[in-house]
């Protein structure tokens, strides 16, 4: 997906071994649709060459404030002005301890720091990806600098944890390129759920018959995981309650793994005590075995099939939708209906039965395990369709629809 299509970014590199990651980040930004102008400090050029960054960005790299080449289409020897004016954001990755210390004092003795100081604060955000030794990161001076940069309006990302180039292990590594790509993309997403606490359920449940067998379904969890990501992109604090799936956790999302419907019910009942939005995208099993065995049920050669008795699982969504918080509007509940036929009729009936303000329907066999989907939205005012698209695209549209329907949201 071209999440950054039409965006022009300045990618700044200060000195540090993490400059090698900036090459992959540059390539990823371009692949996501952005145009990238690389600006390097003298120290950065000791770790990676401007030639490499020019090849990846497709643009001449600027390294000196005394560079007399036209910048930003203007020939006035003011690269720090021209390059910052055409940028949608400035991303410094890596941002060294020295470079961040320089920024808080407004020092501007090289092109990159000049650009950060000269950028229009109201329309060119500054995103910093720190990279340094663990002791340097933990030092009180660095932590004071980070706090001040954030207070001044810069977006200072957290650091990674792991083995460092010096051989030590701990905090201070620059985030990986895919994590940085997400953070840059998120910068431009409308924060329509800012301040909201969102709980999302996703994936199937597994109802054990014996230690090796059980009842489940074909849900992949992809739609729920996409919704969790989209809600986080939109500024919400997000907790994802996931059934047994192997999907990676969306960046910035807290994940709680569960197995059975009863496990999921316990987790969701607790989380929705404080949440403001609950999106029930999980495909919870309707039934579970009345009892389970501690040992595998084996064939005995008689040809007889063991008789299993089933009991109905609790209706998690209906139970939460009936709580005082949900009924008062403090918790906005969204349900999902995966049907095999007659989607409109079943979705309308399910919304009424569950008592939720918004019900999202889809045809299960057409979407389970797939990367795309089509959705039908059913609320008290009627129905609308989200035409087939990737699940992330649909999730972003759905998040916008939910934000528009929340109590207190602006009309229209």
Residue indicated by tokens 């207070």: 151
- Can you tell me the distance from the alpha carbon of 128 to that of 134, in angstroms, rounded to the nearest whole number? 17
Question: Phi and psi of 92, rounded to 5°?
Answer: -105, 110
Q: Choose among 48, 42, 41: nearest CA to 26.
A: 48
- Can you tell me the distance from the alpha carbon of 50 to that of 60, in angstroms, rounded to the nearest whole number? 8
- Can you tell me the distance from the alpha carbon of 235 to that of 194, in angstroms, rounded to the nearest whole number? 4
**CB-CB contact of 34 with 8 (8 Å):** yes
Residue indicated by tokens 């540059």: 26
DSSP state of 304: P
DSSP state of 301: S
**CB-CB contact of 370 with 314 (8 Å):** no
Please identify which of the residues 19, 116, 166, 333 carries the catalytic annotation.
166
- Can you tell me the distance from the alpha carbon of 247 to that of 226, in angstroms, rounded to the nearest whole number? 11
**CB-CB contact of 239 with 256 (8 Å):** yes
**Which residues, in sequence order, are CB contacts of 351 under 8 Å at separation 6+?**
335, 358, 359, 378, 379
The pair of three-digit structure tokens given for residue 363, joined into one six-digit string: 């045809």
Residue 60 burial (CB count, 10 A)? 14
- Alpha-carbon dihedral 272, 286, 205, 368, rounded to 10 degrees: -110
Determine whether 19 is an active site residue.
Answer: no
Return the half-sphere exposure (C-beta side, CA atoms, 13 A cut-off) of residue 246. Answer: 0
Bridging pattern class, strands 382-390 and 372-379: antiparallel
CA 335, chain centre distance (Å): 21
Q: Choose among 237, 105, 95: nearest CA to 156.
A: 95
Residue 26: strand, helix, or coil: helix
**Which residues, in sequence order, are CB contacts of 211 under 8 Å at separation 6+?**
293, 294, 295, 296
**CB-CB contact of 264 with 319 (8 Å):** no
The pair of three-digit structure tokens given for residue 331, joined into one six-digit string: 């918790």
Just list the catalytic residues.
Answer: 166
């Amino acid at each position: 997906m071209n999440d950054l299509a039409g965006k022009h970014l300045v990618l700044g590199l200060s000195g540090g071994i993490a400059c090698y990651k900036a090459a992959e980040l540059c390539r990823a930004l371009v692949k996501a649709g952005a145009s990238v102008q690389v600006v390097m400090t003298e120290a950065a050029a000791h770790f990676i060459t401007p030639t490499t960054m020019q090849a990846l960005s497709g643009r001449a790299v600027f390294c000196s404030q005394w560079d007399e080449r036209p910048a930003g289409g203007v020939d006035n020897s003011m690269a720090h002005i021209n390059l910052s004016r055409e940028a949608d954001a400035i991303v410094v990755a890596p941002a060294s301890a020295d470079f961040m210390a320089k920024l808080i004092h407004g020092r501007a003795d090289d092109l990159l720091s000049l650009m950060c100081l000269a950028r229009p604060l109201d329309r060119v955000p500054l995103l910093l990806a720190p990279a340094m030794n663990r002791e340097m990161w933990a030092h009180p001076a660095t932590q004071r600098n980070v706090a001040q940069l954030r207070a001044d309006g810069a977006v200072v990302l957290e650091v990674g944890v792991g083995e460092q180039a010096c051989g030590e292990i701990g905090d201070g590594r620059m985030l990986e390129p895919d994590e940085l790509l997400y953070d840059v993309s998120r910068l431009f997403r409308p924060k329509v759920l800012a301040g909201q606490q969102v709980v999302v359920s996703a994936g199937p449940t597994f109802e054990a018959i014996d230690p090796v067998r059980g009842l489940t379904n074909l849900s992949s969890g992809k739609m729920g995981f996409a919704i969790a990501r989209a809600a986080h992109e939109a500024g919400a604090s997000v907790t994802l309650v996931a059934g047994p799936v192997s999907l990676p956790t969306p960046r910035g999302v807290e994940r709680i793994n569960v197995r059975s419907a009863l496990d999921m019910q316990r987790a969701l009942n607790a989380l929705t005590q404080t949440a403001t939005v609950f999106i029930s995208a999980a495909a919870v099993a309707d039934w579970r075995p009345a009892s389970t065995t501690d040992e595998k049920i084996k064939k005995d050669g008689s040809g007889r099939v063991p008789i299993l008795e089933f009991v109905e699982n609790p209706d998690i969504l209906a139970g939460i939708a009936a709580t005082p918080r949900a009924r008062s509007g403090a918790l906005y509940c969204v349900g999902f209906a995966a049907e095999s036929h007659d989607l409109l009729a079943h979705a309308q009936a399910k919304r009424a039965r569950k008592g939720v303000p918004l019900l999202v329907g889809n045809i299960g066999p057409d979407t389970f395990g797939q990367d795309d989907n089509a959705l039908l939205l059913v609320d008290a005012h009627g129905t609308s369709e989200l035409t087939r698209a990737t699940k992330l695209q649909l999730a972003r549209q759905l998040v916008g629809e939910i934000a528009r329907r929340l109590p207190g949201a602006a009309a229209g």
